[in-house]
Amino acid sequence: MRKILVLLFAMMLLACSSEEKKMETVRELAKKDLITQLQLPEGTTFNDEEIQVSEKASDLEKIDATYTVIFTINSQDAAGNPVTQKHTLTYAKIGEGGLNPDDYELTAFD
């Protein structure tokens, strides 16, 4: 019984680790796409607090899953007033693995 519990716990840890890696892959891809879409200079960095990644799976196998990435960018205008901009990028999972940036396709940018 104890071996079964240990095996079950190990499988759960592995699954959580894989999901975290998928989210990190989407996050890094979104950073690159945002820099490209907004024509920001290379070397632009983002804080993880500025980025929210969420997943909506279409079925139990998570095939055709949709990932939404929301960037919140705080800056100032010429008068020194704070300005908050939100940009939403939507990705469709087109590959099976999910750990390669080529497994995702940008479907919408707002």
pLDDT, tens digit, 9 for 90 and up, residues 58-82: 655 556 788 899 998 888 888 888 8
Could you report the per-residue pLDDT of 34-65, keeping only the tens digit for each? 989 888 888 888 887 888 888 886 655 556 78
What local confidence, expressed as pLDDT, does residue 50 receive? 85
Q: Which of 101, 94, 100, 81 is nearest to 32 (CA)?
A: 101
What local confidence, expressed as pLDDT, does residue 86 receive? 92
**0.75 exceeded by pTM:** no
Three-state DSSP class for residue 21: helix
In angstroms, rounded to a whole number, what is the distance separating the alpha carbons of residues 70 and 51? Answer: 6
Provide the pLDDT confidence category of residue 6 given band limits of 50, 70 and 90: low
